[in-house]
Structure 1
Amino acid sequence: MPRTRFSLSTLPLILLVGLLALPVLALLASWLPWGVVQADTGAILREMASTVLPGYAWTTLWLGLWVAVGAAVVGTAAAAAVTLFEFPGRRTFEWLLLLPLAMPAYVTAYAYTDFLQFSGPLQVALRETFGLEGRLLPEVRSLWGAIWVFTFSLYPYVYLLARTALGERAAHLMEAARLLGAPLSRRITTIALPLARPAVAAGVALALMETLADFGVTSYFGIQTFTTGIIKAWLSMDNRIAAAQLSTMLLALVLVLLWLEHRAERRMRFTAKGTGHAGATEAQPVPLRGLARAVVWGVCTLPVFMGFVAPVAFMLRPLASDWSVLPWDRFLEWAWNSVWLGCITAGLAVAVALALAFAVRRKPDLLTRGVVRLASVGYAVPGAVIVVGLLLPVGWLQARVPQWGVAALVTTTAVGIVWAYLVRFCAVALQSVQSGYARIPASLDDTARMLGAGSARLMSRVHWPLLRRSTAAAALLVFVDVMKELPATMVLRPFNSDTLAVVAYQLARDERLGEAALPSLALVVVGLVPVILLSRTLRGRA
């Protein structure tokens, strides 16, 4: 391992990562007596503990528990179906099951509410057909409705990892057990599922982090979680201390999930080393017929229908019934605001990711790797937490040096929102760029240095031509994530700069669900692009 040695060349890297880690560091510092929040934090914490905090904690934990169970069951069942069994349409279901990744969870919530609410078309048709009165279906805007939405929106995280684990690590052991006479049920319960357990745990952790970070679904359904409490404390109650404390608690939960996800990934790598076998690809899925084939079809069809087909159909209904209701005159303006914010953030995120990845490549000591890893934490931090962590030091500086105008620079221009986007999504670009660097042999660097190439020439003449595809993928992923981001955009966007995500939320909140269909469907179309690329990548590896 290279020795850790501080040098002046490392200082710009530390300053850059410090800007990305500032929200998290500011939240941690807010608990100190000399932190950015000067107040009796203990009194406010005790007040919340006797009023809203138990409700926030209980609802968040209960929501997370049932989403974890639902995503694990649906994702694992779908992965086992397309990996372990052979049936007509299996190859098609392999990519169809990824489609809910294109649907932001809050868009799915709007679609189900529009169709299933008391005044929705389903209940109206039932009342008119059977002569009934009153509410015929349970209220969709409830905790259980949110669990339903999150389960069918986030199960692809479990499906992707479990499918990889079952396809790469369980196939040859399943084949060996079959040759030894083990029945199919025993092969699944004693071999396949235990080997997939670390992958399922990692997928569940990712789904839970998305659930904790969500604001659109929980706010629209009126569910009191930590995220909705943070936004309410900051915007409605104007209590930055309560918002900081709630943000820190939510951050602690997210860090625990992040640790569990990394632990599960290490177990996945260990399992891969322990089960690697050259003949793994010789094992074939088990052919199904009759009732078993129908059951597997149902297992694969239900998540696709509930997580993508039904929501899209519900949102297409207003477009087909009355085009005049849709806000076509403002749509291009909202789309342009989303696109230019996404393009600026994607370009900056790729530039930062290239700088960080090149620093690790050039000097992979403990300090550099630790600093770069700190920059990757932001993706796991909810947008609401980033907003509070960003505005705390801004408010502190504004109070002490008002002539600088820091608050106006961050909260009324694109600077603040792009900064928050970079904190949140720079890790996405960094992961893609680092995966590209992993495919570049280190011998190319040694050869370039022997020929007298400096750092700038090494990057421009050797690395960049080989990283173009990785950087393009990184820019696309960041662009799509920015288009769908809601809480940070809603709080920090410049005046008169509504984006598609914000407009869809505002229209749905005002019960104008028909008008919300247009910006919602635009977000779905944008989200389909990385899903299609991911599907092609997975099929290429198969």
Structure 2
Amino acid sequence: MSSVLNPLRWFAPLALLSFAAVLALPVLALAAAWLQLDAASIDVLHQMLETVLPEYTGTSLLLCAAVALGVGVVGMATASAVTLFDFAGRRVMEWVLLLPLAMPAYVVAYAYTDFLQFSGPLQTGLREAMGWQGRVFPEVRNVWGAVWVFTFSLYPYVYLLARTALSERASQLMEAARLLGAPMSRRVREVALPLARPAVAAGIALALMETLADFGVVSYFGVQTFTAGIYKAWLVMDNRLAAAQLATVLLATVGVLLWLEHRAQRRMRFSSLRGTRAGSAEAQPVALQRGWAALALLACALPVLFGFVLPVLFMLRPLLESWGELPWADFVRWAGNSLWLAGLTAGLATLAAFGLAFAQRTQPNRLTRTVVQLAGLGYAVPGAVIVVGLLLPVGWLQVVAPDSSVGYWITATALGLVWAYMVRFSSVALQSVQSGYARIPTSLDDSARMLGTTGPGLLARVHWPLLRRSTAAALLLVFVDVMKELPATLVLRPFNSDTLAVVTYQLARDERLGEAALPALTLVLVGLLPVVLLSRTLRSK
């Protein structure tokens, strides 16, 4: 009997260690790349310092600073408007402000470029109507165009966190300040804004991680950031070491942002006053009249207009113009590739999240905590870093063992792509399942054990019925994230296995916006699913 139980006893720790190795491989490979430094490698790094690194650093810092300011102002202004004030249309704006989450940033970039470029309908129409010559508007494809796109695509990160912080705490304290004689401007400045500051900082950090991880927008606009430099070093210059060094710098930057986000989240964990809100008729949003109400409605409507409505309308125009020439057969193949990759990854990631969350619940030891922390860090790792981290060991193995078939399985099949997706998105599923576990009291586990239900029986008979909604949310979130993922898919996809995200990028790069509009708008429709789920969740609170 002991010979049977002993393997079972060690199965769970070995499975956790294997999963930790899978998640940690990209980072470990990048760290190992620094051990290969020799005279030639140092010369490459010196050349990079003299040529591309200053530009990558300066452009990335400028982009991050401008995006941080943009998403901070827009997110905080909209969250304050719908939380602290009451005006006509406020209830609608509470969930409409989430719509830009459904828009991949690169789709927004393609839409604005097509409409505003020199040969676009706006400038062409103005030249014909006014008799003007030359360019009417400045070039869109630059760092400031990228700032515009990222600001109105990513401000919901700040909006969501700031809205949650303000709705839980601000109304009562602002009412107390009013009773003490403070005017509205002072109440907002000295009560609401300090309360929301940690939430705004956390939201800005999340938005900047998405900005640094982006490839579609910066590549299409020709903005020289670290992500674009990684792909250029790997695919154009064929210099793996340079790509690894750039990826390491990007990973370190994202690590700092992640630390800042966690620190801001910890500062948000102070007492909530929500329980007194329902019983206090005074602690309600301040009703705005006429001009102020119109201004608040406009402040909420403009971000939605710039981040969702206009990009959709801009993409509908070329779609309708080229409707009869659309490659429907190819579209079905692209959609099929996207669906099966997203479905497979969502299932595997949710299954892994279930195992980790259950292990953390029942065996909260150091190994489990370490693996859970590794899985939680995955979403912060940019796709470009994951690609370099996965392909570096493949290159080393091909040098050591030329006859090995590992390179084939990683680069010529879907294995490498699903691996990258798992590293990137397992944390999304884990967070959803963990949020479900947080609502299940541990007393239920104790009662089940007293009745003789342990191990898999505890999971199947007690936890699973209570985690169905969290599981569905995990599947949906990972599914949509995989559908929209571009950087890793662009490099690791097998031959003739293009996805909707890849063909959208390729067709837009070739200025075939009419054909790119169909897969782009399909991604937008898919992205609306988690937005609807999120809006329903917020309404139920």
Please indicate the TM-score interval, normalised by the length of the shorter structure: over 0.9
- CA distance in structure 1 between the aligned counterparts of 2:58 and 2:232, rounded to whole angstroms: 18
- CA distance in structure 2 between the aligned counterparts of 1:15 and 1:444, rounded to whole angstroms: 30
Contact 1:20 1:378 in 2 (8 A): yes
- CA distance in structure 2 between the aligned counterparts of 1:285 and 1:454, rounded to whole angstroms: 49
| Matching of residue 279 in structure 1 with residue 288 in structure 2 | no
Report the equivalent of 2:369: 369
Report the equivalent of 2:64: 64
For residues 435-461 of structure 1, the C-alpha deviation after alignment (integer angstroms, 9 at most, x for no partner) is 111122212222333333341222222
| Matching of residue 31 in structure 1 with residue 39 in structure 2 | no
- Please report how far the alpha carbon of residue 39 of structure 1 lies from its aligned counterpart in structure 2 after TM superposition: 7.4
- Please report how far the alpha carbon of residue 404 of structure 1 lies from its aligned counterpart in structure 2 after TM superposition: 2.6
For residues 173-199 of structure 1, the C-alpha deviation after alignment (integer angstroms, 9 at most, x for no partner) is 011111222111110000001110000
Contact 1:71 1:151 in 2 (8 A): yes
- CA distance in structure 1 between the aligned counterparts of 2:390 and 2:120, rounded to whole angstroms: 40
Report the equivalent of 2:130: 130
1:137 is aligned with what amino acid?
F
Contact 2:105 2:150 in 1 (8 A): yes
- CA distance in structure 2 between the aligned counterparts of 1:267 and 1:490, rounded to whole angstroms: 38
Contact 2:172 2:273 in 1 (8 A): no
Structure 1 residues 515 and 8: CA distance shift in structure 2, 3 A: closer
- CA distance in structure 2 between the aligned counterparts of 1:136 and 1:22, rounded to whole angstroms: 50
For residues 382-420 of structure 1, the C-alpha deviation after alignment (integer angstroms, 9 at most, x for no partner) is 101100001111221222123331110000100000000
User: What are the residue-to-residue correspondences of 1:42-441 with 2, within 5 Å?
Assistant: 42-269=42-269, 272-273=270-271, 276=273, 278-281=275-278, 282=280, 283-441=283-441
- CA distance in structure 1 between the aligned counterparts of 2:158 and 2:264, rounded to whole angstroms: 12
- CA distance in structure 1 between the aligned counterparts of 2:256 and 2:384, rounded to whole angstroms: 18
1:276 is aligned with what amino acid?
L
SS in structure 1 at match of 2:152: helix
Structure 1 residues 402 and 444: CA distance shift in structure 2, 3 A: farther
- CA distance in structure 1 between the aligned counterparts of 2:479 and 2:383, rounded to whole angstroms: 16
SS in structure 2 at match of 1:278: helix
Contact 1:152 1:306 in 2 (8 A): yes
- CA distance in structure 1 between the aligned counterparts of 2:253 and 2:534, rounded to whole angstroms: 29
- CA distance in structure 2 between the aligned counterparts of 1:280 and 1:440, rounded to whole angstroms: 25
- CA distance in structure 2 between the aligned counterparts of 1:93 and 1:19, rounded to whole angstroms: 42
Contact 2:353 2:430 in 1 (8 A): yes
- CA distance in structure 2 between the aligned counterparts of 1:347 and 1:7, rounded to whole angstroms: 25
- Please report how far the alpha carbon of residue 343 of structure 1 lies from its aligned counterpart in structure 2 after TM superposition: 0.3
- Please report how far the alpha carbon of residue 217 of structure 1 lies from its aligned counterpart in structure 2 after TM superposition: 0.1
Report the equivalent of 1:446: 446
For residues 149-180 of structure 1, the C-alpha deviation after alignment (integer angstroms, 9 at most, x for no partner) is 00000000000001111111111001111122
1:353 is aligned with what amino acid?
A
User: What are the residue-to-residue correspondences of 1:445-464 with 2, within 5 Å?
Assistant: 445-464=445-464
- CA distance in structure 1 between the aligned counterparts of 2:120 and 2:274, rounded to whole angstroms: 55
SS in structure 2 at match of 1:494: coil
Percent identity between the aligned chains?
Answer: 69
- Please report how far the alpha carbon of residue 325 of structure 1 lies from its aligned counterpart in structure 2 after TM superposition: 3.4
SS in structure 2 at match of 1:498: coil
Contact 1:31 1:41 in 2 (8 A): no
Contact 1:114 1:120 in 2 (8 A): yes
* TM-score, normalised via structure 1 length: 0.96
- CA distance in structure 2 between the aligned counterparts of 1:330 and 1:526, rounded to whole angstroms: 19
User: What are the residue-to-residue correspondences of 1:478-489 with 2, within 5 Å?
Assistant: 478-489=478-489
For residues 297-326 of structure 1, the C-alpha deviation after alignment (integer angstroms, 9 at most, x for no partner) is 210111000000000000111233331232
Report the equivalent of 2:512: 512
- CA distance in structure 1 between the aligned counterparts of 2:495 and 2:232, rounded to whole angstroms: 20
- CA distance in structure 2 between the aligned counterparts of 1:195 and 1:441, rounded to whole angstroms: 30
Of 306-315 and 467-476, the range deviating more from structure 2: 467-476
SS in structure 2 at match of 1:403: coil
Contact 2:349 2:429 in 1 (8 A): yes
Contact 2:251 2:385 in 1 (8 A): yes
Report the equivalent of 1:3: none
- CA distance in structure 2 between the aligned counterparts of 1:39 and 1:267, rounded to whole angstroms: 47
| Matching of residue 18 in structure 1 with residue 21 in structure 2 | yes
Structure 1 residues 79 and 46: CA distance shift in structure 2, 3 A: same
2:28 is aligned with what amino acid?
L
2:385 is aligned with what amino acid?
V
- Please report how far the alpha carbon of residue 40 of structure 1 lies from its aligned counterpart in structure 2 after TM superposition: 4.1
- Please report how far the alpha carbon of residue 96 of structure 1 lies from its aligned counterpart in structure 2 after TM superposition: 0.6
For residues 87-133 of structure 1, the C-alpha deviation after alignment (integer angstroms, 9 at most, x for no partner) is 10000000110000000000000000000000000000000000001
Contact 2:161 2:200 in 1 (8 A): yes
Contact 1:64 1:211 in 2 (8 A): yes
- CA distance in structure 1 between the aligned counterparts of 2:201 and 2:275, rounded to whole angstroms: 26
- Please report how far the alpha carbon of residue 358 of structure 1 lies from its aligned counterpart in structure 2 after TM superposition: 1.1
Coordinate RMSD, CA, aligned = 1.5
SS in structure 1 at match of 2:198: helix
1:227 is aligned with what amino acid?
T
1:490 is aligned with what amino acid?
L
- Please report how far the alpha carbon of residue 328 of structure 1 lies from its aligned counterpart in structure 2 after TM superposition: 2.0
Contact 1:325 1:514 in 2 (8 A): no
Structure 1 residues 411 and 184: CA distance shift in structure 2, 3 A: same
- Please report how far the alpha carbon of residue 13 of structure 1 lies from its aligned counterpart in structure 2 after TM superposition: 0.4
Aligned length: 530
- CA distance in structure 2 between the aligned counterparts of 1:277 and 1:287, rounded to whole angstroms: 20
- CA distance in structure 1 between the aligned counterparts of 2:116 and 2:233, rounded to whole angstroms: 31
2:534 is aligned with what amino acid?
L
- CA distance in structure 2 between the aligned counterparts of 1:62 and 1:185, rounded to whole angstroms: 31
- CA distance in structure 2 between the aligned counterparts of 1:277 and 1:90, rounded to whole angstroms: 20
- CA distance in structure 2 between the aligned counterparts of 1:9 and 1:473, rounded to whole angstroms: 26
Contact 2:101 2:527 in 1 (8 A): yes
Contact 1:353 1:430 in 2 (8 A): yes
- Please report how far the alpha carbon of residue 375 of structure 1 lies from its aligned counterpart in structure 2 after TM superposition: 1.8
Gaps in structure 1 of 5+ consecutive residues: 1-5
